[in-house]
Amino acid sequence: MKELKDRVAVVTGAASGIGAALARALAGEGMRLALADVEEPALAAFAETLRGAGAQVVAIPTDVSQRRDVEALADRVFRELGGAHLVCNNAGVCQGGPLLEMKDADWEWLLNVNFHGVRLGCSVFGPRLVEQGEPAHILNTASVGGWLSGGTLGMYSTTKYAVVGYSEALAMELEPHGVGVSVLCPSFIRTALTDAARNRPAALGTAPAGMEFVEAGMAQGGVPEDVARHAIRGIREGAPYIFTDAVFEPLIEERFQRARAALKRAAEPVSDA
């Protein structure tokens, strides 16, 4: 989708971090914005800042893990802005720790936001984009952790691997309808992701510790504005994958080398001995 000016963008997780940077950059491209976030005061304040800079913004408090919220978001977008052309399923949370120590509540939280939040955004907006019959695009935020797993971020990476696989399949489904799909895979970025537990539902209890590795990486990471620039270029190019730097290329290549070695081994006869 090359033309952005005067079109409508929906951004979830828009009140801070990568979502806020995307919103600012898309406003700079002349897009009209529907911003969604679970943090209502921060969302309202950020929307007002963008309006003060001349952007047309609708702020819609949304819990992306709840279908009723996402459907209400879509209803308002189409009613108040006349449609949507770019849907950025960006909301995400993180927690760290050994996989075998994670409780069901921990899995519920990360899966509901990181994967089901993306899935619901696509399943609710996708059919409307197709029916609309105009050029459109979906941007799903995963992570470089959707290509590499290990350490204390196994749970987080599991959810992001799911976003990558889901986005690849959805892209094939939507291509005949003129709707593109990109999966955004940032590396370490300086955001408030390590404080994501502030939005964890009280009913799920306290989040486990184990964010030290993430905090150390993010302290030396890139800035959200760089992610937004890469994202907009990728949207215009219809790129299936959008990375924000090449720091992890050797590790990703090593992963594919292991897979290729295993495939070659599979072609060899298996002895009965």
* Catalytic sites, residue numbers: 156
User: Cα angle at 18 between 12 and 104, to 5 degrees?
Assistant: 65
Specify whether the CB–CB gap between 12 and 246 falls below 8 A.
Answer: no
Could you give the angle at which helices 116-132 and 67-81 cross, rounded to 10 degrees?
30
Listed residue (1, 6, 17) closest to 189, CA to CA: 17
Which pair of structure tokens corresponds to residue 181?
A: 């799909």
